[in-house]
C-alpha cells in the first residue's frame, strides 16, 4: 500500500521475513527448543520448490501478480481467522515419506512465490503429517522459513526486485518481533491482533484485486 509494484513489494518483504525467521530460530534455541533434524529431512524438497516459486513470481506481470495475490489473501483469510491449534497424536505414525514431501513441496512453492501466511499450513503439515508437538513444530517452521526465504530472496535480488530501504526497516522490526515473539509466545495480544489482521488482509486484497499494481 506504500506504492511499490506488487512483485517488488512481495520481494522486498522477504528481507523482513528472513530477519524475523532467523531471530525466531535464535529465540527458540534460547528456550531450549529446536528441531534441526526434522528440518534437514525436508529442507532439500522445500528449497527446490521455493526457488521455482520465486522464479515464477519474478516472471509474472505486476498487475496479474497483484490480482493473484489478492485472491490468495481472500482464500487464506478463513484459515487466518480459524487459527487452528492442532495437537500431535503420538499414537499415530507420520505419513509416508513421499506424501510428506509432496505436501512440503507444495508449501515450498507457495512460500517462494507469495510467502504471506505460509506459517499456518507449514505448522499444520509438521503437526499433522510429521506428528510433532506444536512447540517443536513452530521451531522447525521458522528454521525452514529461514532457508526457503534465503533462496527466494537471492532470486529476487538477482532479478532486481528488492528495495533495500524499505526492506531493512522491515528487517529491524520483524527481527525484534521474531525474537521476542518466539520467546514469549505472543498470545496475550491475540484478541486485538486477529481483528486488525483481518482488516489489513481485506484492505490489501481489495487493493490488489481492484486497485492495480500501484
Q: What is the pLDDT of residue 72?
A: 66
Q: What is the pLDDT of residue 190?
A: 47
Q: What is the pLDDT of residue 153?
A: 92
Q: What is the pLDDT of residue 154?
A: 92
Instruction: Please list the pLDDT of the chain residue by residue as tens digits (214 residues).
Output: 678 887 888 889 999 999 999 898 888 787 777 777 778 888 899 999 999 988 888 877 766 666 766 676 666 666 555 555 555 554 556 667 788 888 888 888 888 888 876 777 787 778 776 667 667 777 888 889 999 999 999 999 998 889 998 999 999 999 998 887 776 653 444 455 456 556 766 776 676 666 654 4
Residue ranges of the domains in the chain?
A: 6-210
> What's the predicted TM-score (pTM) here?
0.72
| HEC secondary structure over the chain | CCCCCHHHHHHHHHHHHHHHHHHHHHHHHHCCCCCHHHHHHHHHHHHHHHHHHHHHHHHCCHHHHHHHHHHHHHHHHHHHHHCCCCCCCCCCCCCCHHHHHHHHHHHHHHHHHCCCCCHHHHHHHHHHCCCCCHHHHHHHHHHHHHHHHHHHHHHHHHCCCCCHHHHHHHHHHHHHHHHHHHHHCCCCCHHHHHHHHHHHHHHHHHHHHHCCCC
Q: What is the pLDDT of residue 2?
A: 73
Q: What is the pLDDT of residue 77?
A: 63
Amino acid at each position: 500500500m506504500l506504492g511499490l509494484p506488487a512483485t517488488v513489494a512481495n520481494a522486498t518483504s522477504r528481507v523482513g521475513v528472513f530477519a524475523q525467521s532467523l531471530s525466531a530460530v535464535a529465540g527458540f534455541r534460547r528456550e531450549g527448543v529446536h528441531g534441526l533434524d526434522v528440518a534437514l529431512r525436508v529442507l532439500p524438497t522445500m528449497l527446490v520448490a521455493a526457488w521455482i516459486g520465486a522464479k515464477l513470481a519474478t516472471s509474472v506481470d505486476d498487475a496479474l501478480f497483484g490480482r493473484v495475490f489478492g485472491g490468495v489473501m481472500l482464500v487464506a483469510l478463513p484459515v487466518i481467522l480459524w487459527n487452528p491449534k492442532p495437537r500431535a497424536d503420538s499414537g499415530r505414525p507420520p505419513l509416508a515419506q513421499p506424501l510428506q514431501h509432496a505436501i512440503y513441496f507444495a508449501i515450498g512453492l507457495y512460500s517462494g512465490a507469495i510467502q504471506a501466511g505460509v506459517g499456518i499450513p507449514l505448522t499444520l503439515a509438521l503437526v499433522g503429517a510429521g506428528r510433532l508437538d506444536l512447540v517443536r513444530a513452530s521451531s522447525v517452521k521458522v528454521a525452514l522459513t529461514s532457508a526457503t526465504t534465503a533462496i527466494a530472496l537471492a532470486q529476487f535480488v538477482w532479478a532486481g526486485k528488492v528495495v533495500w530501504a524499505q526492506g531493512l526497516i522491515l528487517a529491524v522490526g520483524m527481527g525484534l518481533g521474531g525474537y521476542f515473539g518466539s520467546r514469549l509466545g505472543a498470545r496475550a495480544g491475540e484478541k486485538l491482533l486477529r481483528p486488525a489482521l483481518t482488516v489489513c488482509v481485506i484492505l490489501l486484497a481489495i487493493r490488489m484485486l481492484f486497485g492495480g499494481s500501484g
